[in-house]
Amino acid sequence: MHRNGPTEDIDESALRVSAPKDQAAGVTAVAVALKRSVEEMGVIRTARTLSRVNQAHGFDCPGCAWPEPTGHRRPAEFCENGAKAVAEEATLRTVTPEFFAAHSVEELADKSGYWLGQQGRLTHPMVLRPGATHYAPIGWDDAYRLIVDHLRALATPDEAVFYTSGRTANETAFLYQLLVRSFGTNNLPDCSNMCHESSGAALTSSIGIGKGSVSIDDFGKADLIIVAGQNPGTNHPRMLSALGTAKANGARVIAVNPLPETGLLGFRDPQTVKGFTTGIPIADDFLQIRLGGDMALFQGLGRLLFEAEDRAPGTVVDHAFVEAHTAGFAEYEKQTRAVDLAVVAQATGLTRAELEHTARLLAEAKSVIICWAMGLTQQTHAVATIEEATNLLLVRGMIGKPGAGVCPVRGHSNVQGDRTMGIWEKMPEPFLAALDREFGIRSPREHGWDTVDAIRAMRDGRGKVFFGMGGNFVSATPDTEVTEAALRGCELTVQVSTKLNRSHVVHGKTALILPTLGRTDLDLQNGAKQQVSVEDSMSMVHLSTGRLRPVSDELRSEVAIVCELAQELFGPDHPVPWREFRGDYDLIRDAIARVVPGCADYNAKVRQHNGFQLPHPPRDAREFRTGTGKANFAVNELTWLPVPEGRLILQTLRSHDQYNTTIYGLDDRYRGIHNGRKVILVNQADIAEFGFADGDLVDIVSEWTDGVERRVTGFRIVGYPTPRGNAAAYYPETNPLVPLDHVAARSNTPVAKAVTVRLERHRHE
Ligand SMILES: Nc1nc2c(c(=O)[nH]1)N[C@H]1C(S)=C(S)[C@@H](COP(=O)(O)OP(=O)(O)OC[C@H]3O[C@@H](n4cnc5c(=O)[nH]c(N)nc54)[C@H](O)[C@@H]3O)O[C@H]1N2
Ligand SMILES: Nc1nc2c(c(=O)[nH]1)N[C@H]1C(S)=C(S)[C@@H](COP(=O)(O)OP(=O)(O)OC[C@H]3O[C@@H](n4cnc5c(=O)[nH]c(N)nc54)[C@H](O)[C@@H]3O)O[C@H]1N2
Ligand SMILES: [Mo]
């Protein structure tokens, strides 16, 4: 049977389309945030909770990874979507054993992800035994024993997969990878594999470290900020305040995006009296680029920079920087001067005048920041594209100076910290050696599986136990039908979760749900209040303290779950002091201080007012720890995406009312979509050319070299100002269209932003 994702509990016929908004945030954003919060948690819990988001003694917002300002923090250092993320977690609704007794798994598997998430917080550990129709309660000890029995039954530890999502705090992440490596595998896929892996790969190769080189204060010092492939109005709303500050200080902002995203084109800062009512356009220039055209853009700009240098020698290329700090400049110059600007115009859809105007700004600016997110990372040529953006900054000497640098804007609030703490299927040798030294274990050295490889392995029967530390693996990953079958083939699936999601109802032969504390919850161990630490997108590390009374006494912290499982798995004689770690998170931080580079004196440093910033050699000292000892200019063959005849290139993206696979509501207010999610945004001229009309229902069929038909049905066409040949639709509803093998070169990231599709008229069954 062909399934198209269960959304029958959403009445898509109520869908309404209005004109896209021209300004983000403002009064409506505040009203929406408060309404949602009060609905979920009541007035008192709302007041108590929202006043502590991102404050020095509060908790880190579980929304995005945008940093807090370093100086004065405003009383409300959160945004509409941060408030929604908090409300989602702090809700008083609960999913209890009675709930599971009343709903069979089969019934739950027919519900939408939206419905599942709305049911509330998970309260008890639950088990689904082979052949059972309903989840039943299980004690924590029995749950651990069940996991250990399955792990011990494996032929090798490499038959187990240990996934991590990016909300996991540093302390958990550190212990979790320690457990997994003590057990004997590096199979540590994480959400980063689907997210900024391409950024990490490109930056490590170019500048020797896979993280951004700017700090929040650099935004106030920049002349020019390019925001490419990112929708901050929805996904990083607090970034708009930083961009607003930059503009007040004279910066120019260029948005590079196929879509005229509302937050970039207009913003009312709800935090300032003036912004609340008047609003400012953020982007001075909007380059409406074609999907996948960014590599061509950056190469074309490179050529135009060299031409500007020819006209005024010594004013554009930073020769001192290039000579002292870079390698490969001559080859880069040769290749870039030969770039065909006619091809660049075709690939980007931009005019020669737009390219020249942008190049002039880039040539004249004294300090340039380039920001990006999923529009760049989820492309076949993502790594090369990010290298080309970095090349431009290197030509101009824009790394390691105030107001300048690379700025990959991370997604999950601690996805960067998880990597720092060792969540990676190919952690470098010095880290593993330090881990082994500290604990007297022997970590495996063979690289493990990333997300795509883990799915392949489970599909082929080589992966048998799946353990998810947070996240929603089934809904976040590509090729839904393949992935669901892969999970169903497992002997055991375990999900450590706060809320119900599809990964609980698409399960292995035996399945466990382990309910855990969230960021906002009070975490008591041995009667003492515990804190965790997190790292933001700009390498700032600080403490986070939850204070809300957990919705159930049965919830355990992620740290406790890891330690208790480890005790059951390894017995009392294991060299790692799991019991002590569980009882006092300071002891975990002491171990982190000895193992993780840059974390010396960790306990003291995370307790400083704004925490501390991890070292970043290019940012701090223009030091580049690459193979050449210098920043590397990359030379790449130009790749772009011509649109096949009669087809569209589809990007899958987020609405304003979701957090990845968690759907808060059915509106995408800024884009004018209300009461539904099954839409495909298409250029009016393409709609006409294909013989459709705005509002028609279509099936979307993706085309891939394997000839397999991937189809989602009953999507409404919405005429939208996206470039010709380019379309957009929401994730996760369109994940069934993304072929598992459609991945980015060198990062293995699923190409969620460029799927070739055709539209077929929807036939009612
Ligand atoms: N409220 C909220 N906040 C979030 C999330 C959420 O779901 N909800 N998710 C979090 C996570 S994990 C992440 S990774 C981030 C994601 O943050 P974003 O990357 O902003 O997320 P997307 O919705 O995928 O948006 C991709 C943007 O890139 C553009 N784009 C697509 N393809 C291209 C291209 O080829 N070139 C260019 N130049 N642009 C392109 C799209 O039009 C869109 O504006 O947000 C984080 N914050
Ligand atoms: N087609 C397409 N696919 C994509 C993307 C895309 O743009 N297009 N984006 C990709 C990206 S950038 C990412 S990051 C991934 C996201 O992939 P994931 O990180 O796997 O997915 P999330 O939806 O963020 O996970 C939500 C679940 O996490 C659990 N959770 C929430 N808070 C906590 C907590 O504190 N502890 C624990 N243990 N669990 C918690 C809840 O049960 C919730 O249901 O999706 C990727 N998939
Ligand atoms: Mo992400």
720 lines ligand 1 (CB under 6 A): no
663 lines ligand 1 (CB under 6 A): no
753 lines ligand 1 (CB under 6 A): yes
Nearest CA to ligand 2 atom 31: 498
How many A from CA of 413 to the centre of ligand 3?
9
Distance CA 251, CA 231 (A): 19
User: Helices 558-570 and 140-152, interaxial angle, to 10°?
Assistant: 50
Predicted local distance difference test score (pLDDT) of residue 2: 38
Q: Residue 70's pLDDT band (boundaries 50, 70, 90)?
A: confident
- On whether the CB atoms of residues 161 and 457 are closer than 8 A, the answer is yes
723 lines ligand 1 (CB under 6 A): no
291 lines ligand 1 (CB under 6 A): yes
pLDDT in tens, 424-445: 999 999 999 999 999 999 999 9
How many A from CA of 77 to the centre of ligand 1?
22
Predicted local distance difference test score (pLDDT) of residue 765: 64
Distance CA 618, CA 539 (A): 13
Predicted local distance difference test score (pLDDT) of residue 5: 45
194 lines ligand 2 (CB under 6 A): yes
- On whether the CB atoms of residues 672 and 21 are closer than 8 A, the answer is yes
735 lines ligand 2 (CB under 6 A): yes
pLDDT in tens, 207-252: 999 999 999 999 999 999 999 999 999 999 999 999 999 999 999 9
289 lines ligand 1 (CB under 6 A): yes
Least trusted range by pLDDT, from 62-66, 414-418, 527-531, 612-616? 62-66
How many A from CA of 107 to the centre of ligand 2?
23
Shortest-distance ligand to the CA of residue 471: 2
Nearest CA to ligand 2 atom 47: 476
- Which of 471, 470, 519 has its CA nearest to residue 496? 470
CA 582 to chain centre: 28
Ligand 2: nearest atom to the Cα of 473: 20
Ligand 1: nearest atom to the Cα of 292: 35
Residue 496 predicted with pLDDT over 80: yes
647 lines ligand 2 (CB under 6 A): no
- Which of 40, 50, 49 has its CA nearest to residue 76? 50
How many A from CA of 731 to the centre of ligand 3?
12
Least trusted range by pLDDT, from 34-38, 422-426, 543-547? 34-38
Nearest CA to ligand 2 atom 39: 470
How many A from CA of 480 to the centre of ligand 2?
15
Nearest CA to ligand 1 atom 44: 231
Kindly state the average pLDDT of the residues 366-376.
98
517 lines ligand 1 (CB under 6 A): no
User: Which of 286, 386, 473, 654 to mutate to test ligand 1, by most ligand atoms within 8 A of the CB atom?
Assistant: 654
Q: How many CA atoms lie within 13 A of 514 on its CB side?
A: 25
Q: Residue 42's pLDDT band (boundaries 50, 70, 90)?
A: confident
Q: Residue 8's pLDDT band (boundaries 50, 70, 90)?
A: low
CA distance readout (Å), 73 to 57, 187, 267, 269, 681: 12, 40, 20, 15, 39
230 lines ligand 1 (CB under 6 A): yes
How many A from CA of 473 to the centre of ligand 2?
7
**DSSP string for residues in 270-285:** TTSHHHHHS-B---SE
Residue with tokens 């609340």: 276
Shortest-distance ligand to the CA of residue 650: 1
Ligand 2: nearest atom to the Cα of 412: 14
- Which of 222, 555, 558, 564 has its CA nearest to residue 403? 222
Predicted local distance difference test score (pLDDT) of residue 274: 56
pLDDT in tens, 140-186: 999 999 999 999 999 999 999 999 999 999 999 999 999 999 999 99
Ligand 1: nearest atom to the Cα of 412: 12
519 lines ligand 2 (CB under 6 A): yes
Question: What tokens were used for 166?
Answer: 């990016």
Q: Which three-class secondary structure string do you get for 613-625?
A: ECCCHHHHHCCCC
Residue 641 predicted with pLDDT over 60: yes
Shortest-distance ligand to the CA of residue 656: 1
541 lines ligand 1 (CB under 6 A): no
Please enumerate in sequence order all residues whose Cβ is within 8 A of that of 452, keeping only pairs 6 or more positions apart, or say none.
193, 478, 740, 743, 748, 750
Kindly state the average pLDDT of the residues 576-588.
98
Nearest CA to ligand 1 atom 33: 375
Report all structural domains of the chain as residue ranges with CATH numbers, in order of start. Answer: 94-195+414-611 (3.40.50.740), 197-409 (3.40.228.10), 648-761 (2.40.40.20)
Kindly state the average pLDDT of the residues 594-619.
97
Shortest-distance ligand to the CA of residue 664: 1
483 lines ligand 1 (CB under 6 A): no
Predicted local distance difference test score (pLDDT) of residue 301: 98
Give the rounded percent of residues in the chain with a pLDDT score beyond 70: 96
497 lines ligand 2 (CB under 6 A): yes
411 lines ligand 2 (CB under 6 A): yes
Ligand 1: nearest atom to the Cα of 722: 42
**What residues have their beta carbon closer than 5 A to ion ligand 3?**
195, 411
The mean pLDDT of the chain is 94
Residue 43 predicted with pLDDT over 90: no
User: Which of 53, 64, 168 to mutate to test ligand 1, by most ligand atoms within 8 A of the CB atom?
Assistant: 64
Residue 4 predicted with pLDDT over 50: no
| Count, residues in the chain | 765
Least trusted range by pLDDT, from 72-76, 117-121, 521-525, 655-659? 72-76
476 lines ligand 2 (CB under 6 A): yes
The pTM for the full model equals: 0.97
Residue 13 predicted with pLDDT over 60: yes
258 lines ligand 1 (CB under 6 A): yes
Nearest CA to ligand 1 atom 8: 659
How many A from CA of 90 to the centre of ligand 1?
25
Ligand 1: nearest atom to the Cα of 662: 7
Shortest-distance ligand to the CA of residue 293: 1
- Which of 647, 643, 667 has its CA nearest to residue 655? 667
Kindly state the average pLDDT of the residues 649-671.
96
Predicted local distance difference test score (pLDDT) of residue 52: 81
CA distance readout (Å), 23 to 248, 264, 628, 761: 18, 8, 47, 34
- As a dihedral over the C-alpha atoms of residue 458, residue 462, residue 464, residue 469, rounded to 10 degrees, the angle is -60
Nearest CA to ligand 2 atom 36: 470
pLDDT in tens, 714-756: 999 999 999 999 999 999 999 999 999 999 999 999 999 999 9
Kindly state the average pLDDT of the residues 682-708.
97
Q: Residue 112's pLDDT band (boundaries 50, 70, 90)?
A: very high
Ligand 1: nearest atom to the Cα of 374: 19
pLDDT in tens, 583-599: 999 999 999 999 999 99
Residue 267 predicted with pLDDT over 80: no
